[in-house]
Amino acid sequence: MCKNIQRKQNSMNPPYEHKIGRNPKTVTPCGSALAGIHLTKDNKQYKIYHFVDRHNHSLLNSADKRLLRINCQLKYMNYVKMIRGSSANIGPSTLYKMKAYLKSGYQYIEATIFDYQNARQDDVSFVGNKDAKMFVNLVEKCRLFVSEYFVEYKHVNRELQCIFWADEVCRLNYKKIGDSISIDGTFLTNMYAMVFFPNHKKFVNVGSALICYVKTPTYDWVLMAFLKCHGKQPLFVMKD
């Protein structure tokens, strides 16, 4: 029993102590810089009584002044270019590199690549899941101020399913040359970036629609909205 107690005491007190050493600090060339400051007798202000001038140096190089927060700002026109570039699948990093190439160097750009990326992230966070609502509000505002503007949309459980819109130019085009039309489901998004049905090697738009599902009921809804907009059926319809 005494041996067990002694063994426990030995386990609680290790036979040696681990010493932790300190790494020696390296003294920089400016380590001998000195500025002596003391409080005046009236205790109202501080006074420098000793200063080593040869160790004085600037806190910021002139080449790095563009990285200051006051100089590193994303201008409004660059912000607009970034938003429009996103619709063409041009990200903020690619846009930043293109701008640096056009200005012959990154040092001539007023913002950094992180400013472009953060601005794009803030824009996406601001829109969130309200992109469909913002689009509906936009076309509703157009219908409010333009008399011949037509818009029709369908939503299920507050989720936008289909939307069709046509401005006054589209409605005039259909009245003039609306005998035969084509429904292009890949308008300017196919690999050739071409429209399906040219009119004398040109095309005119008679309406636009967005659908969530490529199915028969959604196409039926679009055709009914098209008929409600223009008032008459075309003589010939083509679909790619």
Cβ atoms 55, 40 nearer than 8 A = no
Is residue 197's pLDDT more than 70? no
Cβ atoms 158, 132 nearer than 8 A = no
Predicted TM-score (pTM) above 0.85:
no
Cβ atoms 63, 103 nearer than 8 A = no
Mean local confidence (pLDDT), 189-195? 52
Mean local confidence (pLDDT), 56-81? 78
Name the band, by pLDDT with cuts 50, 70 and 90, for residue 201: low
Name the band, by pLDDT with cuts 50, 70 and 90, for residue 88: confident
Two tokens, residue 79: 């912000």
User: What pLDDT does 164 receive?
Assistant: 92
DSSP secondary structure code for residue 16 in this structure: S
Is residue 93's pLDDT more than 80? yes
pLDDT tens digits for range 29-52: 555 667 788 888 887 888 888 877
Residue 224: which H helix or E strand, with range? Answer: helix 216-230
The 10 Å Cβ neighbour count of residue 171 is 18
Q: Which residue matches tokens 């903020």?
A: 92
User: What pLDDT does 16 receive?
Assistant: 43
Q: In sequence order, which residues have a C-beta less than 8 Å from that of residue 39 and are 6 or more positions away?
A: 45, 46, 47
Cβ atoms 30, 56 nearer than 8 A = no
User: What pLDDT does 4 receive?
Assistant: 47
User: What pLDDT does 188 receive?
Assistant: 58
